[in-house]
Structures are given as C-alpha cells and as structure tokens.
Amino acid sequence: MMRLVLIFVLLPGLVRADAFSDFYLARDAAELVARASAGHGLMAELALLGGDDVATFKHLVLALKGNEKPAIYLLNMFRNVYLSSNDMPQLVRLHKGLAASHEDPEVRAVAAFTLARLLYLQGDTVAMKETLSKAGLVLPLYVIGTWDNDQGKGFDVEFPPEREIDLKARYQGALLDIGWRKAQTQPLGQVELDELMAPTQWSVAYAVSAVAVEREGDYEVRLTTSDPFKLFVDGVLVMEERELDATDMIPDAFVVRVHLGKGPHRILVKSAQREGDWVIRVRLSGPGGSVPEAVSPIAPDTEPLAPLRQFSRLDPDTVFRDVEEGPGRDLMKARWLLWVGLREKAVEAAQEFVDRHPYSVIGRFVLASALWSKGERDKVADLLSDLDREVGSQLPYIRLKRAEFLRQQGLDHSARTAILSVRQAFPKLAEAAIQLANYFADQGFREDQCQALRAAEQARP
C-alpha cells in the first residue's frame, strides 16, 4: 500500500503560476503527491485528502505565513481540520499576525473575526471586543417577523418593511401581531433570529439598520447569513440569493460595494428562512474590508436622503483575484460556492469542471460533495464508489467520506467495513476514530463510542 510522504523544501511564497492547475487536474494519488510540492497550500490540500490533520494544519500555517494565495480560501480550510487543544496557541498567534499586518484589508478582517471567536472560546472577552473593533463596523439591528414563507414563496412577497420603516407600527404576521424590536447581538455580532422569532421554520423576517456617513466615498456592505435573502440599501435592491443554505457560515460571504454620500443611509435585509439555524450579521466597511472612517449608527427609521445610485456586487471570483485563471481557480471557486452555501451554483461549477476534466480526483470529489449537499444520492454513490476504488487506499479521507455517506443511507455494515479498513491501515488518523465513534453512536454502543473518542483524542491531544 502506498503511503503519502510529505517531505518537501520550499522557499516561502514561491508557487508556480500553473501549480494550481497541475495539482487539481491530477488523475491519481501519485500525481497529487508529485504536484503538491509547488506550495504549502497544495500540500495542505493533499494532507487533508490523506486524513492527516497534523500535516494539514502545519502546511496551512506555513502557507499563510509565507503569504501564499488565496489567503481567505486558505484561512477557511481550517474549518475542515480536526484541531486539538495543542493547536490553539499557534492558531491564535497566526490570526493575530494576519489581523495586524496582512497586506489585504479583507484578510485582516476575516482573520480578526476568526481571532475574536478563538478568544471568545478561551474566555478572553476583553481581547475579543478589542479585536472585533478592528474588523469594521458591525451594525446594530432592529428586527421584525415572522411572515409566512411556505415552500419559499414568501421570498417574492413584498411585506410592509419593503414599503416603509415605522418602528411604532404593528402588522399582522403569520400567527400574531408583530412589531419592530432591537435585537440583542451575540458576542461576535451575529443575531440569532431563531431565538427571537416565532414561528421560525419556513418564515420571513426583516432586519434594519442605518448609519450617518460624514465623508462621501466608496463603502462595502458585508453580510453573513444562513438563509435566502434580499439586501436593500436606501430602498434599492442591491443583492439577492434565493437558493442559499449555509450550514457553516463564512464571514462576509456576500459583499456589495456602494457609493454613499454624506448623510443618513439605511440597510434592510429580508431573510427567508427554511429549516435549521437562522443567523444574520451585517457590517459596513471601507474598500476591501477596511475599517470605515467617520461612520456611526443612527436610528433605523431615519429616512435616507435619496435612493442609492451606484453599487456593484463583488462575486466569489474576488477571493481568487490573485490566482491565475485556469482549472485550479475554477475548482477552488466551486468549492468556495459550496462553503458559502450556494449549493446549486456549486453543483453547476463542479459539474462543468468535471465535464472538462473527467479524470480529476479532486474535481470528482468536490462534485460528489456538492451533489451530496443537494441530496443527489445515486450520483454521489457512483462518484464516491469510483474514487474509493481508485484512490481510497492512498487517500483515506475519501474512503471515510464514503463511509459517512453509506452510514447516512443506512448501509451500516458497509460503512463499518470501510472505517475499519482505514483504522487498520492508518491507526493514528483521528478522523477514522471519529467516524467509528459516530457509527457506534448510531448503533447505541455507548462504551464503544467512548473508546473510539478516546482514541481520537490520543491521536490529536
């Protein structure tokens, strides 16, 4: 059995222009290993497929310290890594450095948000608040709801807040009279609508804020949310996403650049919830995510001076602006669309990539992940079965994801066989122990579940 040995010597920041395409077009594990040596970011991708969280973490840190691109994509790859308590100090130091001195203000803002979350988990709320102040202006929100969103039909219904903002008005909601109220924000600035509204499933709510701008110029409205939305600035619809379903929200996933004159401006978000968590955060920044100057919150019922005239949406491509166009960029974009919750678009992008490059290992894996998010079970089963047969013994993460899929389909014996094969071949992989623990939990075998979790902890103390 071939093992992945990741030993390379790199000069920080040096990545061949075509390295991304070479790597993402690889047709087997051997090609992936050979082509990953071009950069720490690629080695992190390879280590992730190998189920090696230690190597993934190491190479992500080195890639970001070496100023490899795209930094925001690399930062969000940490979400796929099983982190141990021993990783936390290094992770905090990394994000402190990026938040303080990275050349890209958007990277600084994303790093600041992540750092604030890490500090919150450590109980350091003073440092958390100081860090958040460097990530731009998180807007206070007034909220109202809910109205009916049966089968998603409420997305296109013009409810009263789209016609007027009257904080004293009362309206007939889905079940009762409703009115505006100031939302209590969570420590990281988000508003959890599912804790404030009733009913929540398949419902519509609105959130509004307003700011006074002292200096005319270009600004950016940055939205983090879990569900389909419409975003209005000064009464003008500037962005909408009707198919959003974000289970793991990316900070500032949706950005609109607006030109604001001196005076009051209003931001309104319509959120059309379906099922699951219901979260929203809105912030205003300068260009590229920088902290805005001379901007302050005001009463949200303050009328804007005039309708917004200049705006432009920043597409996901902007995350990859420093990556040369080609297959590598195309596939990273497909994965990014999946991460932010645009599942339909992710499937389209991944399918287009695989149609052009049908033998790409990572391309087919990303397509399987996107189709899985849409419930396309037959296609997912075929893709994961082929990938497991071709590279599962060398890239155990792929075999484990197939085992997870099999377990979801009720094929417990096949899932257990796949997990145990990885445990036997790679006994130190924490991910395999976690998958085994999940299997035992499904079966109600609590003692076995605890033993598997202890094995995972020993693998990643």
CA–CA distance, 45 with 33 (Å, rounded to integer): 10
**At residue 5, does pLDDT exceed 60?**
no
Strands (E), 117-241: 137-138, 142-148, 170-172, 177-179, 181-182, 191-192, 203-213, 217-225, 229-233, 236-241
Query: How much is the average pLDDT of 399-424?
Result: 96
The residue with greater pLDDT, 272 or 291, is 272
Q: Are strands 177-179 and 254-260 parallel, antiparallel or unpaired?
A: unpaired
178 plus 255 within the same structural domain: yes
Query: How much is the average pLDDT of 96-113?
Result: 90
308 plus 324 within the same structural domain: no
With respect to residue 396, please indicate whether it lies within any of the assigned structural domains. Answer: yes
Q: Give the residue among 194, 254, 196, 203 at the shortest CA–CA distance from 224.
A: 254
Give the total residue count for the chain. 461
370 plus 284 within the same structural domain: no
Q: Is 381 helix (H, G, I), strand (E, B) or coil?
A: helix
pLDDT tens string 52-65: 999 999 999 999 99
181 plus 236 within the same structural domain: yes
59 plus 184 within the same structural domain: no
113 plus 160 within the same structural domain: no
Could you list the residue range(s) of the whole structural domain that residue 65 is in? Answer: 37-133
Confidence of residue 11 (pLDDT cuts 50, 70, 90): very low
Query: Residue 306's Cα: distance from chain center in Å?
Result: 34
For the entire predicted model, the pTM comes to: 0.90
CA–CA distance, 218 with 418 (Å, rounded to integer): 54
Give the DSSP letter of residue 185: P
178 plus 268 within the same structural domain: yes
Query: How much is the average pLDDT of 383-404?
Result: 97
Q: What is the pLDDT of residue 247?
A: 79
Confidence of residue 3 (pLDDT cuts 50, 70, 90): very low
CA–CA distance, 399 with 419 (Å, rounded to integer): 8
Q: What is the pLDDT of residue 244?
A: 93
With respect to residue 18, please indicate whether it lies within any of the assigned structural domains. Answer: no
412 plus 356 within the same structural domain: yes
Greatest CA span in the chain, whole angstroms? 70
Please list, in sequence order, all residues whose beta carbon lies within 8 angstroms of the beta carbon of residue 430, skipping any fewer than 6 positions away: 53, 82, 456, 459, 460
CA–CA distance, 341 with 353 (Å, rounded to integer): 19
Q: What is the pLDDT of residue 347?
A: 97
pLDDT tens string 296-350: 999 999 999 888 889 998 887 788 888 888 999 999 999 999 999 999 999 999 9
With respect to residue 231, please indicate whether it lies within any of the assigned structural domains. Answer: yes
Query: How much is the average pLDDT of 411-426?
Result: 95
CA–CA distance, 260 with 15 (Å, rounded to integer): 39
Instruction: Report the alpha-carbon angle 28-29-30, nearest 5.
Output: 95
Confidence of residue 16 (pLDDT cuts 50, 70, 90): low
CA-only gyration radius of the chain, Å: 23
pLDDT tens string 140-165: 999 999 999 999 999 999 999 999 99
User: φ, ψ for residue 11 (rounded to 5)?
Assistant: -90, 130
With respect to residue 281, please indicate whether it lies within any of the assigned structural domains. Answer: yes
CA–CA distance, 305 with 261 (Å, rounded to integer): 9
293 plus 336 within the same structural domain: no
The one-letter amino acid at 437: A
pLDDT tens string 175-200: 999 999 999 988 888 999 999 998 99
* Boundary-marking domain end, from 286, 319, 352: 319
**At residue 417, does pLDDT exceed 90?**
yes
Number of domains in the chain: 3
Please list, in sequence order, all residues whose beta carbon lies within 8 angstroms of the beta carbon of residue 275, skipping any fewer than 6 positions away: 201, 202
Q: What is the pLDDT of residue 8?
A: 35
Q: Which residues of 253-276 are buried (b: 16+ CB within 10 A; e: fewer)?
A: bbbbbbebbeebbbbbbbbbbbee
Q: Which residues of 4-41 are buried (b: 16+ CB within 10 A; e: fewer)?
A: bebeeebeeeebeeebbbbbbbbeebebbbebbbbbbb
CA–CA distance, 308 with 265 (Å, rounded to integer): 9
Query: How much is the average pLDDT of 13-22?
Result: 62
Confidence of residue 7 (pLDDT cuts 50, 70, 90): very low
216 plus 342 within the same structural domain: no
CA–CA distance, 245 with 305 (Å, rounded to integer): 34
With respect to residue 29, please indicate whether it lies within any of the assigned structural domains. Answer: no
Q: Give the residue among 19, 21, 56, 57 at the shortest CA–CA distance from 38.
A: 19
CA–CA distance, 219 with 310 (Å, rounded to integer): 11
Whole-number mean pLDDT of the chain?
A: 91
CA–CA distance, 404 with 118 (Å, rounded to integer): 28
Q: Lowest-confidence range among 150-154, 388-392, 428-432?
A: 428-432
197 plus 279 within the same structural domain: yes
294 plus 347 within the same structural domain: no
Q: Tell me the percentage of the chain whose pLDDT exceeds 70.
A: 96
* Boundary-marking domain end, from 268, 293, 319: 319
Q: What is the pLDDT of residue 307?
A: 82
* Boundary-marking domain end, from 266, 294, 319: 319
State the SS3 of 216-229.
Answer: CEEEEEEEEECCCE
